[in-house]
A and B are shown apart, each in its own frame.
Chain A
Amino acid sequence: MRGDRAPRVVGERRWVNVSFGALAWVVGLIFFFPVFWMVLNSFKTEQDANTSPKLFFHPTLDRYKDVTKSAGGLLSFGEAFTNSAVIVLVSVTIVMLLAIPAAYALAIRPVPKWRDVLFFFISTKFLPIVAAILPIWILGRNLDLLNTRLGLIILYVGINLPLAVWMLRSFFQEIPRELVEAAEIDGAGLRGQLTSVILPIAAPGIAATALLCVIFAWNEFFYAVQLNPVHGSTVPIWVTTNVSTRGDFLAKLSAASVLACIPVVLAGWIAQKRMIRGLAMGAIK
């Protein structure tokens, strides 16, 4: 927090900066309100949650107990969490390991038909997922990948790779060409250029890309429920088991959702630290 204190900008009247800071706070709070309301609901009884907005109520942790209490055979939060963690971490790591060299080959040392390659990558996202599920489910069944973590890992690599390649390529475009050439003259191969020049400069971009991949993979529900309803079920499936078509469920759902997004909030917070400009400046000087 202290690092954020506003440096005095010459000639800028104090209140200008303070007002922008205040505006940012106001916007942040308004935008955050629905999430805050959800968190608030997670501490209410179903009765309090399903009636007109109540700010003052006696909080209870029962909803968290209901949600995490589980018996054998039922998908528990722990099991869903480990499944999701393994699937997301492995798939995003593979995506980044594939996307970084690919982006290098599309931005810094572009391959001959790099436009068509980029177009191909994005075109893979045009088929509506609701239709893609038919062949994917049948392939999964025939390859015996239904209800396995590996199945979803492979699928999430396919889902996130185009996003990662496109974003990284845009951030790699920003890298001053002469810095890469300088590293190359020093004898740095692909890995050398990556570690010494590209990663430091593009760090904000890489962090943003990795974060978005984690978010998409962590929150993916449709493929997960269709392919892994029994084993290898992920956190989103666990969250929706708390929805009920007969009876109130809002408070329970809020509690489940709060637990579900804690890891992603952490990922977001960690990624932000990488997104501070400092790094980029270091490399250019």
Chain B
Amino acid sequence: MSAVKYEHATRTYEGSDVPAVDDLNLDVGDGELIVLVGPSGSGKTTALRMLAGLEPLDAGAVHIGEREVTNVRPRDRDIAMVFQNYALYPQLSVAENMAFALKQHGVPKEQRLARVRETARILDLEPYLERKPRHLSGGQRQRVAMGRAIVREPAVYLMDEPLSNLDAKLRVQTRTEVVELQTRLGVTMVYVTHDQVEAMTMGDRVAVLKDGALQQVGAPGTLYHEPSNLFVAGFIGSPAMNLVPLGDGRPVRIGGAEVVFDGQAAASVSNGSADITVGFRPEAVQVVADGPLRAEIRTVEDLGPEVFVHVTVDHRGDSVSLVSKMAPPFSGQLGESVGLELVGTTHVFGGDGSRIASTRGTLR
């Protein structure tokens, strides 16, 4: 039985004819942490707000557990939500903030205090219980917002980019704490972020959205290795996948070198006549002294465990930039002319952006 279910959920804001969320179908399993990710304006926050009941649905339905909640008031959906700016109640103390939801549902005072104290212990907020939100740091405020959700023990947790206002180091640390908490409590969580690294590291499954439409949903690995279309391929992974549009020219050539595909997919690609785009991850291309594809090094980013080499290739007259992930040490100098060699998987995308094939390719 799925904990959360979007069924053809659609929402179009007044005054615009383009739907913010267009015919979304998504099932979330019980106890699953699903991440909605996408650039700003992709409808991820709107989708979350539709689940929370803060945005009405223009079509379709939303279910929580076995109940359809499309027209149910937010307060009757048994959900908790952490907002991007935390939305703490300015006039109430930390304890009162955390106990607020329980108080609305008439939970007796001592029980409220017990649960608040328990949650405060988990999030080590005990010393701040009597403080007002404005006297807390960003990180503490974020934890209070989390605490407010946890105390409620709701059916579903909704998180709207809760870490985006934290500094980088705190963000990484809080990210792992959230995942630990979610697994330990075994609760269903719908998490929205624009940061694809956060998505890949936190989500049991990740749903990529663009312009209101669901591009792909699946495990992080699947998205990384088997992107369903050009957008997902380009969006997931950092630095992004190398994409070279080749139009309908056959045989498939990049710069001076020809790309040879092995496996049965190669046949359908090489003798077809549709426009295609070829893509390969940075780690799928290596810089070698004398490979068939000539390129010139532009910048070298040494991140310690790996080195990213940015090169430009002369492809049909204009220079295309590619990036390769090399293992240290890497001795290439700026401006040096080098060769490129394909080692990993090469993806082929059709004219409409959908992925046609993923095979090993070699340059000759």
Binding site for B on A (CB under 8 A): 5, 7-12, 284
B332 at interface (Cβ–Cβ under 8 A)?
no
Q: Is the beta-carbon distance between A11 and B55 smaller than 8 angstroms?
A: no
Q: Which of B56, B72, B76 contacts A9 (CB 8 A)?
A: B56
B53 at interface (Cβ–Cβ under 8 A)?
yes
Report the number of A-B residue pairs with Cβ-Cβ less than 8 Å: 21
A8–B55 alpha-carbon span in the complex (Å):
8
- What chain A residues lie within 8 Å of B71 (beta carbons)? 10-11
14 contacts between A and B (CB under 8 A): A7-B14, A7-B56, A9-B56, A10-B53, A10-B54, A10-B55, A10-B56, A10-B73, A10-B74, A11-B71, A11-B74, A11-B76, A12-B73, A284-B85
How many B residues touch the partner, as a band?
Answer: 10 to 19
Q: Is the beta-carbon distance between B14 and A11 smaller than 8 angstroms?
A: no
Which B70-89 residues sit within 8 Å CB-CB of chain A? 71-74, 76, 85
- A8 (CB) vs chain B CBs: closest residue: B56
Which B4-18 residues sit within 8 Å CB-CB of chain A? 14
- What chain A residues lie within 8 Å of B54 (beta carbons)? 10
A11–B71 alpha-carbon span in the complex (Å):
5
- What chain A residues lie within 8 Å of B74 (beta carbons)? 10-11
A279–B31 alpha-carbon span in the complex (Å):
40
- A12 (CB) vs chain B CBs: closest residue: B73
Residue of A7, A9, A10, A284 ringed by the most chain B CB atoms within 10 A = A10
Q: What 9 pairs between A and B have smallest CB-CB spacing?
A: A11-B73, A10-B53, A8-B56, A10-B56, A11-B72, A11-B71, A11-B53, A10-B73, A10-B71
Distance in Å: Cβ of B225 to nearest Cβ of chain A = 35
- B58 (CB) vs chain A CBs: closest residue: A8
- What chain B residues lie within 8 Å of A5 (beta carbons)? 14
A8–B13 alpha-carbon span in the complex (Å):
11
- What chain B residues lie within 8 Å of A9 (beta carbons)? 56
Which B36-61 residues sit within 8 Å CB-CB of chain A? 53-56
- A176 (CB) vs chain B CBs: closest residue: B85
A8–B12 alpha-carbon span in the complex (Å):
12
- What chain A residues lie within 8 Å of B76 (beta carbons)? 11
A5–B85 alpha-carbon span in the complex (Å):
28
- A11 (CB) vs chain B CBs: closest residue: B73
Distance in Å: Cβ of B44 to nearest Cβ of chain A = 15
Distance in Å: Cβ of B254 to nearest Cβ of chain A = 42
B156-196 CB mask vs A (1 if < 8 Å, else 0) is: 00000000000000000000000000000000000000000
- What chain A residues lie within 8 Å of B55 (beta carbons)? 10
- A284 (CB) vs chain B CBs: closest residue: B85
Distance in Å: Cβ of A182 to nearest Cβ of chain B = 13
A24–B317 alpha-carbon span in the complex (Å):
69
B57-71 CB mask vs A (1 if < 8 Å, else 0) is: 000000000000001
- What chain A residues lie within 8 Å of B53 (beta carbons)? 10-11
A11–B74 alpha-carbon span in the complex (Å):
8
- B54 (CB) vs chain A CBs: closest residue: A10
Which B83-128 residues sit within 8 Å CB-CB of chain A? 85
A60–B1 alpha-carbon span in the complex (Å):
76
- What chain B residues lie within 8 Å of A284 (beta carbons)? 85
A284–B84 alpha-carbon span in the complex (Å):
12
Distance in Å: Cβ of A223 to nearest Cβ of chain B = 41
Distance in Å: Cβ of B10 to nearest Cβ of chain A = 14
- What chain B residues lie within 8 Å of A7 (beta carbons)? 14, 56
- What chain A residues lie within 8 Å of B14 (beta carbons)? 5, 7
A23–B53 alpha-carbon span in the complex (Å):
26
B286-317 CB mask vs A (1 if < 8 Å, else 0) is: 00000000000000000000000000000000
A5–B53 alpha-carbon span in the complex (Å):
20
A156–B55 alpha-carbon span in the complex (Å):
48
Distance in Å: Cβ of A176 to nearest Cβ of chain B = 9
A5–B14 alpha-carbon span in the complex (Å):
10
A44–B351 alpha-carbon span in the complex (Å):
78
Distance in Å: Cβ of B140 to nearest Cβ of chain A = 15
- What chain B residues lie within 8 Å of A10 (beta carbons)? 53-56, 71-74
A10–B71 alpha-carbon span in the complex (Å):
6
A10–B53 alpha-carbon span in the complex (Å):
6
- B50 (CB) vs chain A CBs: closest residue: A10
- B15 (CB) vs chain A CBs: closest residue: A3
A7–B76 alpha-carbon span in the complex (Å):
20
- What chain A residues lie within 8 Å of B72 (beta carbons)? 10-11
**Additional A-B contact list (6), CB under 8 Å, known A10-B71, A11-B73:** A5-B14, A9-B56, A10-B54, A10-B56, A11-B53, A12-B73
Distance in Å: Cβ of B167 to nearest Cβ of chain A = 13
- B76 (CB) vs chain A CBs: closest residue: A11
A131–B54 alpha-carbon span in the complex (Å):
57
Distance in Å: Cβ of B83 to nearest Cβ of chain A = 12
A7–B49 alpha-carbon span in the complex (Å):
15
- What chain A residues lie within 8 Å of B85 (beta carbons)? 284
- What chain B residues lie within 8 Å of A12 (beta carbons)? 73
- B14 (CB) vs chain A CBs: closest residue: A7
- What chain B residues lie within 8 Å of A8 (beta carbons)? 56
- A177 (CB) vs chain B CBs: closest residue: B134
A9–B73 alpha-carbon span in the complex (Å):
9
Distance in Å: Cβ of B120 to nearest Cβ of chain A = 26
A244–B73 alpha-carbon span in the complex (Å):
61
- B62 (CB) vs chain A CBs: closest residue: A10
A10–B76 alpha-carbon span in the complex (Å):
11
- A7 (CB) vs chain B CBs: closest residue: B14
